Amino acid sequence: QVTLKESGPTLLKPTQTLTLTCSFSGFSLNTPGVGVAWVRQPPGQALEWLALIFWDDGKRYSTSLKTRLSITKDTSENRVVLTMTNMAPVDTARYYCVHVPGGVFFGDFWFDPWGPGIQVTVSS
């Protein structure tokens, strides 16, 4: 059974850097075709994809946020870390870690399952 769980700070001040950790079980990031992604959702708003890392350490970032994002993996510890710099109140959202189970070899990706998410608030 694949499970993921997010951890990190829940309250940040503007300009600070957010570092979130995704701890997962039930799969290995050494397995070809597998990935882990981050998606966020501001209160009452739609989903927004942020970043994705593949088994081969390939990385993809949201075009609008890529200058602020970094995603890394620790395969031996089954962890993925997302950092986002220069946080602002508009970055207040629930941040989800998600498993990317397939489609990669076709050039596609989708998200399943999702972690419970972590609510991050940015406020002075």
Partner 1 sequence: DLVLTQSPDSLAVSLGERATINCKSSQSVLNRSYNKYFLTWYQQRPGQPPKLLIYWAFTRESGVPDRFSGSGSGTDFTLTISSLQAEDVATYYCQHLGTFGQGTKVEI
Q: Where are the beta strands (DSSP E) in 1-124?
A: 3-7, 11-12, 18-25, 35-41, 48-54, 59-61, 69-74, 79-84, 93-100, 118-122
- List, in order, residues 6 or more apart from 123 with CB less than 8 Å away: 11, 12, 13, 14, 89, 92
Three-class DSSP category at 76: helix
Residue 90 in contact with partner 1, rule: CB under 8 A:
no
Residue 24 in contact with partner 1, rule: CB under 8 A:
no
Residue 19, CA distances (Å) to 31, 115, 120 in order? 25, 16, 11
Residue 33 in contact with partner 1, rule: CB under 8 A:
no
Residue 114 in contact with partner 1, rule: CB under 8 A:
yes
Three-class DSSP category at 60: strand
Residue 116 CA from chain centroid, whole number: 12
Which region, judged by CB under 8 A, interacts with partner 1, from 12-20, 21-29, 71-79, 111-119?
Answer: 111-119
Of residues 1, 10, 43, 46, which one binds partner 1 by CB under 8 A?
46
Of residues 47, 79, 85, 92, which one binds partner 1 by CB under 8 A?
47
Number of residues forming the site for partner 1 (CB under 8 A): 22
Q: How far is the CB of 95 from partner 1 (least distance, A)?
A: 11
Of residues 18, 27, 84, 115, which one binds partner 1 by CB under 8 A?
115
Interface residues toward partner 1, by CB under 8 A: 46-49, 52, 60, 62-63, 96, 103, 106-117
